[in-house]
């Protein structure tokens, strides 16, 4: 997929995701729910994990405070604050985690997410690049890096990072992926969804390509000439699903 000139006003906020370290140090999304355990047999950290999965973030913070102070528990406490939009507190805990473990990729990623949420896109890019060097197989970090590049207007770098993320794991752009949302206008969402439709179309996934094209059109994407000439959609345009989508567009 190629950028055919800059996309005006583009701010893609697809996946500013946090990374949650499990007991064995594996990066996991916050959507994963810990196995149910009897409350009296759980450690404070395990209790915090369960509470954070249930979105009870204040209670999770209290639980983590009772756990031994480690880079992992500090990162998890930062995540809980992050979800409460207490970004200064989240940054403090991520930074404390990095004082204990300087190459802790999950905490570096999460500190980048805090910078991104506060509009420090250049700083976020530096942190995401650092985290990706430590975890080159992380689709989450690659997606975050792409989002930060787009926010800085570096469209080619952004698409390159998105393509890396998509190659590593196409589901990173799924609606089921937990997000920390950033502000975006409908025009920006339209551009975002169009780019994602290109990625899915290029991969031969017509279902998701149509889905993201429909979202782009719903949010006001209006460059129909580009849509009909885009080589990434050459095969998609031959399908009945595309014809139906275009028919729906004419009815609007």
Please give the pLDDT value at position 48.
96
Closest CA to 31 of 192, 136, 180, 212: 180
- Residue 30 to residue 19: CA distance in whole angstroms: 7
The whole-angstrom separation of Cα 166 and Cα 170 is 4
For the whole model, what pTM was predicted?
Answer: 0.78
Q: What is the pLDDT of residues 40-74, one digit of tens each?
A: 689 999 999 999 999 999 999 999 999 999 999 99
Q: Whose CA is closest to 149, among 161, 133, 131? A: 161
Q: Does the structure show a pLDDT above 60 at 213?
A: yes
Q: Where are the beta strands (DSSP E) in 107-248?
A: none
User: What pLDDT shows up at residue 219?
Assistant: 84
More confident residue, 186 or 245: 245
Domain 1-136 coded CATH 1.25.40.10: yes
Enter the tokens of residue 175: 């609606």
Amino acid 3: pLDDT: 37
For residue 13, pLDDT over 70 is answered with no
Q: Examine the pLDDT at 192 and tell me if it is beyond 50.
A: yes
Q: Where are the domains of the chain?
A: 1-136
- Kindly report which listed range (19-28, 83-92, 220-229) carries the lowest average pLDDT score: 19-28
79: nearest Cα among 47, 46, 113, 104: 113
What pLDDT sits at residue 252? 60
Radius of gyration of the chain (CA): 20
Residue ranges of alpha helices (H) inside 152-185 are: 155-168
pLDDT at 205: 92
Give residue 83's Cα distance to chain centre. Answer: 14
CA angle 14–18–20, rounded 5-degree value: 145
Count Cβ atoms within 10 A of the Cβ of residue 181 and give its class: 0-12 exposed, 13-18 middle, 19 or more buried.
Answer: exposed
Q: Which of these, 114, 101, 104, 112, lies nearest to 135 by C-alpha position? A: 104
Task: Say whether pLDDT at 180 is over 70.
Answer: no
Tell me which range, 7-16, 86-95, 148-157, 168-177, is most confidently predicted by mean pLDDT: 86-95
Instruction: State pLDDT tens for residues 111-131.
Output: 999 999 998 999 999 999 999
* The two structure tokens encoding residue 58: 């204040």
């Amino acid at each position: 997929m190629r950028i055919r000139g800059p996309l005006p006003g583009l701010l893609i906020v697809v996946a500013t995701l946090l990374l949650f370290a499990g007991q064995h140090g594996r990066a996991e999304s916050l959507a994963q729910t810990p196995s149910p355990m009897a409350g009296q047999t759980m450690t404070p950290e395990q209790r915090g994990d369960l509470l954070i999965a249930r979105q009870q973030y204040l209670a999770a913070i209290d639980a983590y405070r009772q756990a031994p102070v480690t880079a992992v528990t500090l990162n998890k406490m930062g995540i809980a604050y992050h979800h409460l939009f207490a970004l200064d507190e989240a940054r403090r805990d991520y930074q404390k985690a990095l004082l204990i473990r300087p190459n802790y990729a999950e905490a570096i990623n999460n500190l980048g997410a805090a910078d991104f949420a506060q509009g420090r896109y250049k700083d976020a890019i530096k942190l995401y690049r650092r985290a990706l060097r430590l975890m080159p197989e992380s689709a989450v970090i690659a997606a975050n890096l792409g989002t930060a590049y787009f926010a800085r207007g570096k469209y080619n770098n952004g698409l390159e990072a998105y393509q890396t993320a998509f190659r590593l794991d196409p589901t990173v752009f799924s609606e089921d992926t937990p997000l920390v949302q950033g502000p975006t206008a409908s025009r920006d969402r339209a551009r975002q969804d169009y780019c994602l439709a290109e990625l899915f179309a290029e991969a031969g996934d017509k279902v998701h390509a149509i889905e993201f094209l429909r979202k782009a059109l719903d949010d006001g994407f209006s460059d129909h000439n580009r849509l009909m000439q885009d080589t990434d959609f050459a095969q998609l345009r031959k399908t009945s699903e595309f014809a139906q989508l275009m028919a729906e567009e004419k009815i609007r």
